[in-house]
Amino acid sequence: MTEISTGPGTGAGEHAPAKLGYSPVADIPHRPRVADTDPKAARRAERQVSSMFMLSMLFVVLFIIAFVAIDKSANVYLPVFGVVGAMNITLGFTMGAAIFLIGAGAIQWAKKLMPDVEVVQERHDLSSPAEATGEAAANYERGKEESGFARFKIIRRTLIGAMVLFPIPLIVMLRDLWISPPGSPSPSELLTTTLWKDGTRVVTDPTYLPIRPEDIPVGGLVSAAPADLEEVQIAEGNLNARAKAAIILVRMDPADIVSQQGDGWDYQGIVAYSKICTHVGCPIALYEQRTHHLLCPCHQSTFDLADSGNVVFGPAARRMPQLPIGVDVEGFIVAKAPFAEPVGPSFWERG
């Protein structure tokens, strides 16, 4: 048997099949590709493939520029998708294009320039020896007999019924991913509505003790909750209210505060922020008092509590929501207003 054809230029295909244990196919007429016979077409294909790889490099550079240059809080409106984070969409597009172009270039390379040979690979007989299949069948029959699967009809039918119904709850639960009951609030509304309102006393979590400003030293951090949390939790019978209302109080030198989410939202250098990470919702209390950075242990998002809770590192796309605080007539720390932004993870931004 003789080999039919090879790709342009390389000559590698002439020996590859033999090396790999393949036999060329002699009885299939070989149709050479344009690039096999026309050197100009081969050069064109080469340029096409290398352009794709170069474009891929360009998109990687654009990805890095976008990561550095685009404001993480900027949004854009896109038809079909609605309002989405400008950085998310740009990073996704540039990275997707870079990967796509590498794949497309590799496919073009293989189709147009790599050796083009029709071959057959000889294989051993794929079916098992007759003794092995006979033994497997006998084992199956013996198992069937011993389990009584054929004899106990009612057990067999109910088992099949149970197995058929078993996956249905998993499918039903998927409904929550895209269907909300009509008239129900959007996720961002739900996450903005917490127990905090003007005058709600701030208490320690989980001991529910009211807090005075002098209880928190400079550099100190206190995990806190609204005073009515326990009551609401018992009435609702779940932890939803706690998950949204958890905050931390941090005290720093007022001179260190670079910016806040609202004028005078601190009290003598004590600032209150949501405790729930805006990435995917881990509770955070790792605070570095020298830099005023709050570090999420889950994926290392880092927020600067001296600068409006802005993200300084990591995958979180939104700053940490701040709660305005003051003191009541008895000198205990209270909230001065509800949260102005949704707390917790930012999946709803993609809706």
What residue ranges bind ligand FES (CB under 6 A)? 277, 279-282, 296, 298-299, 301, 314-316
Cβ nearer to ligand FES, comparing 118 with 341: 341
Shortest approach of ligand FES to residue 301 CB, angstroms? 3
Query: Residue 213: CB partners within 8 Å, gap ≥ 6?
Result: 251, 267, 268, 270, 327, 331, 333
Cα–Cα distance measured from residue 196 to residue 7, given in angstroms and rounded to the nearest whole number: 72
Cβ nearer to ligand FES, comparing 296 with 333: 296
DSSP 340: S
Shortest approach of ligand FES to residue 295 CB, angstroms? 9
Cβ nearer to ligand FES, comparing 231 with 288: 288
Closest by CA position to 59, among listed 92, 88, 94: 94
Shortest approach of ligand FES to residue 136 CB, angstroms? 50
Query: Residue 186: CB partners within 8 Å, gap ≥ 6?
Result: 180, 348, 351
Print burial letters for 219-246: b (CB count within 10 Å at least 16), e (below 16).
eebbebbbbbbbeebeeeeeeebbbbbb
Shortest approach of ligand FES to residue 344 CB, angstroms? 10
DSSP 302: E
Closest by CA position to 244, among listed 310, 193, 189: 193
- Please classify residue 175 by burial: count the beta carbons closer than 10 Å to its beta carbon, then call 0-12 exposed, 13-18 middle and 19+ buried: exposed
Cβ(288)–Cβ(306) below 8 Å: no
Shortest approach of ligand FES to residue 71 CB, angstroms? 19
Shortest approach of ligand FES to residue 298 CB, angstroms? 4
Cα–Cα distance measured from residue 218 to residue 203, given in angstroms and rounded to the nearest whole number: 18
Cα–Cα distance measured from residue 92 to residue 97, given in angstroms and rounded to the nearest whole number: 8
Cβ nearer to ligand FES, comparing 316 with 333: 316
Cβ(312)–Cβ(295) below 8 Å: no
Cβ nearer to ligand FES, comparing 257 with 285: 285
Cβ nearer to ligand FES, comparing 266 with 349: 349
Q: Rounded to the nearest 10 degrees, what angle do helices 39-69 and 86-112 cross at?
A: 160
Shortest approach of ligand FES to residue 257 CB, angstroms? 23
Cβ(324)–Cβ(262) below 8 Å: yes
Cβ nearer to ligand FES, comparing 261 with 274: 274
Cβ nearer to ligand FES, comparing 106 with 280: 280
Cβ nearer to ligand FES, comparing 296 with 327: 296
Shortest approach of ligand FES to residue 266 CB, angstroms? 24
Q: How many CB atoms lie within 10 A of CB 144?
A: 12
Helix (H, G, I), strand (E, B) or coil at 256: helix
Shortest approach of ligand FES to residue 131 CB, angstroms? 57
